[in-house]
Amino acid sequence: MGYKDVKFPENSLFLITGGAGFIGSNLCEALLRMGYSVRCLDDLSTGKLENIQPFFENENFEFIEGTIVDFNTCNTACKDVDYVSNQAAWGSVPRSIEMPLKYEEINIKGTLNMMEAARQNNVKKFVYASSSSVYGDEPNLPKKEGIEGNVLSPYALTKKVAEEYGRLYSNLYGLETIGLRYFNVFGRRQDPYGYYAAVIPKFVKALLNDEAPIFNGDGSQSRDFTYIENVIEANLKAMISSSDVQGEAFNIAYGGQVSLIELFEELKGLLNKDVSPIFGPERVGDVKHSNADISKAQTMLGYNPSYDFYAGIRLVTDWYKSNLK
């Protein structure tokens, strides 16, 4: 693990918003294993209680059921907190196109509420989830911070606004913020159910049930799939980073490029299945190709991802085989 040497002061308290979600619950788990105190804030609109159920037995774990849309809840959650990892947001490009007002409320107002609550409670570091979607229609690969195009969805716009607020709160108020532009994160506890499920859990679930997965497009589109352990590393290293990097946003990925057809063939082999996919229309707002330049995060955060796509996909396939009912 790329974060095994990361150390915080002994009595540090961490707030993970969206802590019952996929990424948030993995962050909670990692910090608890390291022996730190963790407070989890989640309204369970997309997160699941079962993701954090095992942590309730740990005396260092506290759960607050509440929403980041309510400032008083954010303020209460930030009391005595040293480090915030703000993972609370609604994902999914297609859903944001259908529900732009909801995304404005949760992803923009909620993130601003959290930054303001963190500022008022003198939080040391505020790390928040951004997204590769901020690159929009910028065609060049690999994606490099500072070279962004026009965003293609309300979801992408909410992440762009979060980055602007992060920069502003660092420059104006001295809150040390760091944005992490995630590139197609996958791993244990990622939800395979529902219309808006991410592609890897959706494909795994279909294959385990001997069903044909549906491709949005011809399958040639490519992604920089990023295993969850790399994302945990990025969050923890962002929390211990120098004050010099406050207000910045960083690509968080492995730096690879895998097409959906390649992904499908790899999963077929790992699961020993012989199924042919169904090809459907491309999704509105989707980016065709995604690949990250991670040199900025490597240089300024000491980010050094340990798991490439193939190592991660083997681990997550084993997890789903054991955990998918």
SS3 per residue for 117-150: HHHHCCCCEEEEEEEHHHHCCCCCCCECCCCCCC
Close Cβ partners of 21 (under 8 Å, ≥ 6 residues apart) = 42, 46, 47, 48, 51, 87, 88
Among candidate residues 156, 7, 135, 138, the one with its CA nearest the CA of residue 83:
7
Considering the entire predicted model, what is its pTM? 0.95
Produce one character per residue of 176-206: b if its CB has 16 or more CB atoms within 10 Å, e if not. bbbbbbbbbbbbbbbbbeeebebbbbbbbbb
How would you write the pLDDT of the chain (325 residues) with one tens digit per residue? 678 889 999 999 999 999 999 999 999 999 999 999 999 999 999 999 999 999 999 999 999 999 999 999 999 999 999 999 999 999 888 899 999 999 999 999 999 999 999 999 999 999 999 999 999 999 999 999 999 999 999 999 999 999 999 999 999 999 999 999 999 999 999 988 876 668 899 999 999 999 988 888 888 889 999 999 999 999 999 999 999 999 999 999 999 999 999 999 999 999 999 988 888 888 776 678 889 999 999 999 999 999 999 999 999 999 999 988 6
Any bridge partners for residue 278, and if so which?
A: 214
DSSP-derived letter for residue 282 is P
| Range 13-183+227-255+293-305 classified under CATH 3.40.50.720 | yes
Q: How far apart are CA 259 and CA 128, in angstroms?
A: 28
Close Cβ partners of 173 (under 8 Å, ≥ 6 residues apart) = 119
* 307-312: Cβ within 8 A, 24+ apart: 307/227, 307/229, 307/230, 307/254, 308/227, 308/254, 308/256, 309/225, 309/227, 309/254, 309/256, 309/258, 310/266, 311/227, 312/186, 312/187, 312/225, 312/226, 312/227, 312/228, 312/229, 312/230
pLDDT for position 195 = 67
Q: How far apart are CA 15 and CA 79, in angstroms?
A: 9
Asked if residue 142 has a cis previous peptide bond (ω within 30° of 0), the answer is yes
Close Cβ partners of 295 (under 8 Å, ≥ 6 residues apart) = none
Residue whose token pair is 């500022």: 119
Can you give the residue ranges of every domain in the chain?
13-183+227-255+293-305
CB 238 within 8 A of CB 127: yes
Q: How many residues does the chain have?
A: 325
Where in the sequence numbering do the catalytic residues fall?
Answer: 155
Look up residue 73 and give its two tokens: 């809840």
pLDDT for position 218 = 85
Amino acid code (one letter) for 321:
K
